[in-house]
Amino acid sequence: MIGWHEKKPIRKRVTAATRQGAAAKLRKIDEDVRKGQLPHGRIPTTGEWLSYWLENIVVRRNRANTARTYRTHVENYLIPLLGRHRLDKLSPEHIAAAWDVLASTGRPGGKGKPLSANTIHHAHTILARSLKVAEQRGKVVGNASDLLDAPSKGDGKKPTILTKPQVRAVIEASQKRRNGARWTVAFSLGLRQGEALGLRWEDVDLEAKTITVSRSQVRLKGKGITLGPTKSGKGRTIVLPAPLLAELKAHRKAQNAERLVAGTKWTDEDRVFALSDGRPIDAKEDWKAWKRLLSDAGVPDVKGHTTRHTAATMLLAMGVPTEIAKEILGHSSITVTQGYQHRVDDLHLDAAARMATALWD
């Protein structure tokens, strides 16, 4: 079986003089599907093209996390639902039917929970990008995904932010922990998790009072924890607030003391935030530390990325120009930064309501 179509498995038959020969042919087909090999002398199926595009184009042009997201959609949704159609025969009706399956059962060939509108929209976007490359390379004439409207995105939830007292409670609780500065950096600079864990001391200029964010920590299959580019692919240098500068100096002093205790067992990767022996902190362990910190601070359980949402909202609420906030946060587009303005508006409305209660009720 090499995929699904209309809830039915797609099977490939081979013939050979011996059982061993047939098994070898099946292994070759399986390897070609997994490696993204395009067939010679005929038009590929949509599944063959998607596999080729994923293995030979996506993984070379995108960050590891982005490629991993693409792979999930391609292997779990696109190939099972659309893979059997010859690429030049793929129609808008085929695509629309596939999205209907995702919206009803969530997956081909079985019962499941319906997927969210945002997930289906993302699947459509990924398919459209792959077909655009196929069109550019002369594999098809026209892009079938352009002939129907992309599925609508969901309304989306407003990002969760913490209040100023909650932020202070978390920061105060973090002072009692190893790597407490990790969370002050998150709230004051709005770094993504991978960016914070990927910081090296060479990125921190304590004399110039700046920090340069130019890489992000990721975990790659077969390679473990490594460093890659930031989400936007660009670096940025941020001026450090005076209290954070002092905290980073104290943090480095404490880390140097740990280095002396560890001796030859210290792994020198120059990480700003590391384990007690210098090794990088795994993202999962970082999330666990965040959950424990929230509990200690008496703050409701929220995602780690809430620190970034909170930083963005606070910057705009303090009147920092949107363009400057965009540069500090490393957003790829100013429209992303502007998306936090509605939270600032909510804060202003709440302030007005509090004033009305204080003066007139």
Residues 140-193: pLDDT tens digits? Answer: 888 899 888 888 776 556 778 899 999 999 999 999 999 999 999 999 999 999
Angle, helices 181-189/242-262, rounded to nearest 10 degrees: 150
96-136 pLDDT, tens digit each: 999 999 988 887 776 778 888 888 999 999 999 999 999 98
Dihedral of CA 236/242/243/249: which sign?
A: positive
> What mean pLDDT comes out for the span 239-251?
94
CATH for the 3-147 domain, from 3.40.50.300, 2.60.40.3880, 1.10.150.130, 3.10.180.10: 1.10.150.130
Phi/psi of residue 45, nearest 5 degrees: -75, 165
More confident residue, 61 or 352: 61
Prediction pTM value: 0.65
What does the pLDDT read at residue 353?
72
More confident residue, 6 or 126: 126
Residue 25: pLDDT over 80: no
What does the pLDDT read at residue 35?
47
> What mean pLDDT comes out for the span 268-277?
95
51-75 pLDDT, tens digit each: 999 999 988 888 787 888 899 999 9
More confident residue, 184 or 137: 184
**CA angle 146–32–119, rounded 5-degree value:** 40
Domain ranges of the chain: 3-147, 164-192+240-354
Residue 246: pLDDT over 60: yes
What does the pLDDT read at residue 38?
53
What does the pLDDT read at residue 40?
54
Residues 236 and 216: their CA atoms lie apart, in Å, by 12
Q: Smallest Cα–Cα separation from 299: which of 164, 186, 178, 182?
A: 164
Residue 9: pLDDT over 60: no
Residue 277: pLDDT over 90: yes
What does the pLDDT read at residue 36?
44
What does the pLDDT read at residue 108?
74
Residue 209: pLDDT over 80: yes
Residue 41: pLDDT over 70: no
Phi/psi of residue 319, nearest 5 degrees: 90, 10
What does the pLDDT read at residue 242?
92
Q: What is the rounded average pLDDT for all residues in the chain?
A: 85
Confidence class for position 87, pLDDT limits 50, 70, 90? very high
Q: List the CATH code of the domain at 164-192+240-354.
A: 1.10.443.10
Residue 17: pLDDT over 90: no
Six-digit token string for 266:
């210290």
